[in-house]
Amino acid sequence: MLRLAATSCALGVSLSLAACGSNGGSRELDTRAVVIGIDGADWKVIDALAAAGAMPNLTRLRERGVSGPIETLNDIALSPVIWTSVATGKTAAKHGVAWFMVDQPDGTRVPVRSYNRKTLAIWNILAEHDLAPTVVGWWATFPAENVGRGAIVSDALGFHGFGATARGGDDGQKTHPSSLFAEVDVLVPPEQQVSTEFVQRFVHISAEDYRDEMFDPARYPKRDPANPIHLFQQYAVTAQGYTRVAEELLAKRPYDLFMM
C-alpha cells in the first residue's frame, strides 16, 4: 500500500541527511527531501484514477521517478501505528503507539500523543544533527516537540475522525515553534465553509439535503460524531488546511526534510 511506500525512503533520507549534519562533516550538496504520505491509498484505486486522467500530478511524479507496491504492517495495521513506524523505523512493540486513542488520568480518552512514543523519530534525529525537519499533520505529534531550527505543525490543528480531535488543547503546544500557530491556524477553514460542490465530488447528496445535514455552529451547538456529513466536513477542512499549511511552509521556510 502507498501509505508505507514512504517508510524505506524516509528512513534512508533520514540517515543520509543526518550523516551530512554539523556532527557528520561538511555538506557538499544542498540535499533536501520531501516525503508525502497518503493514508490508506492503494495502487489499485490510484492506477484506475490515473488511467482516467484524474490524478495528473501523481502521474507526473511516478513517470519521473520510481513507484511500486510495498508490504504494510500486518500486526497492528492502524494509521497511528503505521505512521509512527514510518517515522521511527520500529514496530509498535518498540515505539509504543498501538491505538488511535489513549486513556487519561481523569478517565477520558484522547488521540494518541507524541509523548506516548517511546523512541526517537526522524525529526528528532535530524534536529540533533542541526538539520531542519518540517513535519505537517503527522499522527501523534501533539504536543509538538522541539526540533530546533525545524518546524512541526502537529495533528492537533485538524480533526482525527470518529469525532475525536486535539483542537481543544493548548495552542502553544500545537506547533514548534509555538509562534507558528497563529500563522497556520488561519489556513484551516471552518467546517461550514465546505461547499456543496466540493461535497458532491465525493458524496451522492442533494444541495438541499446537505444544507439540512451539514454542521453549522449557527444551527448545531455541537458536532455530532454519528453524523457522516459532520465527519466528512471535518475530514475536508483537515485535508484542505494541512495542504495550505504545507504549501505555505514549502514556499517560505527552509528545510532539510519535509514530511506530511
Mean local confidence (pLDDT), 204-220: 93
The predicted-structure confidence for 74-109, as pLDDT tens digits, reads as follows 778 889 999 999 999 999 999 999 999 888 888 888
Could you tell me the pTM of the whole model? 0.85
- CA dist 200 → 54, 65, 195, 204 (Å): 16, 33, 9, 6
Q: Does residue 26 carry a pLDDT above 70? A: no
Of 136, 174, 82, which Cα lies nearest the Cα of 255? 136
- CA-CA distances (angstroms) from residue 2 to 32, 140, 183? 21, 20, 31
What local confidence, expressed as pLDDT, does residue 169 receive? 80
- Give dist(CA 9, CA 37) in Å, integer: 11
Q: Can you tell me the mean pLDDT for 18-36?
A: 62
DSSP 22: T
| Three-point CA angle 244, 15, 250, nearest 5° | 15
Q: Output the average pLDDT for the chain.
A: 86
For residues 62-84, average pLDDT: 83
Q: Does residue 215 surpass a pLDDT of 60?
A: yes
- For the cut 60, the answer to whether the pLDDT of residue 197 exceeds it is yes
Instruction: In whole angstroms, give the CA distance from residue 222 to residue 182.
Output: 24
Q: End-to-end CA distance of the chain, in Å? A: 17
* Grid cell of 225 as nine digits: 460524531
pLDDT at 28: 52
**Average pLDDT, integer, range 119-130:** 97
- pLDDT value for 164: 67
Backbone angles phi, psi at 89, to 5 degrees: 80, 15
Report the candidate in 257, 137, 150 with the shortest Cα–Cα distance to residue 188: 137
Residue listed under C-alpha cell 511500486: 68
